[in-house]
């Protein structure tokens, strides 16, 4: 009986989080999928101007010609990918993954259907979504699941001429990273990007 109740509670919590999905995505599209220029000095701003201008263009698009949606099954609770098209070209991809202990939202901005800017927003929950006040008391804990207490990390990746040239992480205060590390990051991002692009070829 307890396992059934736990299962039902998880489903209810997932539905609540999914219902917030459109709010998260609309906020990201309009605001958060942007560049934190605090971490960019004047030289970087000038170098990254094509990336900044491209993101400004994409964020200004109010009506898309087509939006494709696809379920993602990489986590136990799943997720969703959306591909945005304008004038016959793929311009943007968003993904939203849900887990028992986290959720992750990623926005890809493209230039000529190649990576230009990638924004990650990761929510690390204070407790698993099924961890209610009853679980808290039975474990002599002082907290139960509260989305407002999630630790949020934001990461930005800047691409020029098919190369990751700059990366900022809200936990690192914009500290520069060496080229070897950037190359590893680029491979990870490109592998995921290629996997997502396959969705564009689906009927």
Place of tokens 């696809």: 70
Cα–Cα distance between 61 and 67 in angstroms, integer? 13
Pick from 14-18, 72-76, 160-164, 184-188: least confident: 14-18
Res 181: pLDDT: 87
Cα–Cα distance between 150 and 157 in angstroms, integer? 23
pLDDT range class, residue 44, cuts 50, 70, 90: confident
Res 13: pLDDT: 46
Q: Where are the alpha helices (DSSP H) in 30-109?
A: 42-47, 49-60
Q: Is 78 helix (H, G, I), strand (E, B) or coil?
A: coil
Res 48: pLDDT: 93
**Residue 195: φ, ψ to 5°:** -65, -40
Average the pLDDT over 123-146 and give the result: 92
Of 4, 13, 25, which Cα lies nearest the Cα of 125? 13
Res 4: pLDDT: 47
């Amino acid at each position: 009986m307890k396992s059934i109740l736990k299962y039902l509670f998880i489903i209810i919590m997932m539905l609540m989080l999914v219902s917030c999905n459109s709010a998260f995505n609309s906020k990201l599209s309009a605001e958060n999928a942007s560049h934190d220029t605090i971490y960019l000095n004047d030289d970087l701003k000038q170098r990254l101007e094509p990336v900044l201008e491209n993101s400004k263009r994409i964020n200004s698009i109010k009506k898309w010609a087509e939006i494709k949606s696809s379920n993602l099954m990489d986590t136990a609770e799943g997720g969703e990918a959306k591909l945005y098209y304008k004038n016959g070209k793929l311009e943007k991809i968003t993904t939203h993954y849900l887990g028992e202990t986290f959720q992750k939202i990623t926005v890809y901005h493209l230039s000529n259907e190649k990576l230009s800017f990638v924004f990650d927003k990761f929510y690390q929950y204070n407790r698993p979504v099924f961890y209610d006040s009853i679980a808290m008391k039975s474990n002599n804990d002082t907290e139960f699941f509260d989305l407002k207490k999630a630790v949020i990390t934001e990461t930005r990746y800047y691409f020029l001429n098919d190369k990751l040239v700059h990366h900022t992480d809200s936990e690192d205060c914009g500290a520069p990273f060496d080229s070897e590390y950037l190359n590893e990051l680029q491979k990870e991002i490109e592998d995921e990007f290629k996997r997502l692009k396959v969705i564009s070829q689906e009927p």
